[in-house]
Amino acid sequence: MLNYIWSAIVVASIICSVVCGNTQELSTAVIDSGAAAIELLITMAGVMCLWSGIMKIAEKSGFTALIAKVFSPLLRLLFPNLDPQGETFGSITMNISANLLGLGNTATPFGLKAMQGLNKLNGGSKTASDEMVIFVVMNTASLQLLPTMLGTLRQSYGSKAPFEIMTCVWISSACALAVALTLAIGLNKFKVGRK
């Protein structure tokens, strides 16, 4: 996917610069961009390592599992057909909690495990089950309590208050999640796409 987008961007820019007569600016940009990218990566490296380290402590000390316990009653409402003591339900809560804490790398393996469990319940069908739709949609709505990566980026570009956007991110994510879940559950009721 990105292969096409990237080549299209590069080719289109070069054609466009010739048409608009911006070739001089373009050549300067080519040289500057590499340096700018490296500069950015170095600024990010410190804060990124710091937060990954802190979040690792959260994971190992059971903080993530604690958050999972808090959210499990809510998730029970969304997945009424799953056994709340079962492994699949556990994977789902861990996946959602890790996402909430911004631990993308921890969330993904739990998510894949949850999908395997749901697949078993679905009898290995090639059509997604109601639970799968809800689970995947929740993962695409990106609920995050602490957008550390975003804060890091804002900080490295000289923001005066890198985390001021947090409340806005919560409101916006919550609205997105509400729309996603309403559509997912609503259409599940009408058995959309089911034979």
Partner 1 sequence: MPLFAAAIVCFGLIKRVPVFDCFIQGAREGAGVLFQIAPTIIGLVFAVSLLRSSGAVDAICKFVQPAADFLGFPKEVVPMAMLRPVSGSGSSALLISVYEQCGPDSFAGRVASVIAGSSETTFYAVAMYYGSIGIRNVRHTLVAAIAADLTAFAVSVIVVKNFL
Residues between 78 and 117 with contacts to partner 1, criterion CB under 8 A: 105, 108, 111-112, 115-116
Using the minimum distance from each CB to partner 1, give the nearer residue, 72 or 108. Answer: 108
The binder of partner 1 chosen from 75, 94, 100, 180 (CB under 8 A): 180
Q: Which two tokens stand for residue 109?
A: 């393996």
Q: Which two tokens stand for residue 134?
A: 């809800």
The binder of partner 1 chosen from 52, 73, 74, 83 (CB under 8 A): 52
Q: Which two tokens stand for residue 119?
A: 């697949």
Q: How far is the CB of 1 from partner 1 (least distance, A)?
A: 6
Site for partner 1 in 28-47 (CB under 8 A): 28-30, 32-34, 36-38, 40-41, 44-45
User: What is the residue whose two structure tokens read 């997912």?
Assistant: 184
Taking alpha carbons only, the member of 148, 69, 66 closest to residue 102 is 148
Q: Does 74 bind partner 1 (CB under 8 A)?
A: no
Q: Does 159 bind partner 1 (CB under 8 A)?
A: yes
Taking alpha carbons only, the member of 134, 139, 166 closest to residue 150 is 166
Q: Does 2 bind partner 1 (CB under 8 A)?
A: yes
Using the minimum distance from each CB to partner 1, give the nearer residue, 80 or 123. Answer: 123
Contact 71/96 with Cβ under 8 angstroms?
yes
Contact 17/23 with Cβ under 8 angstroms?
yes
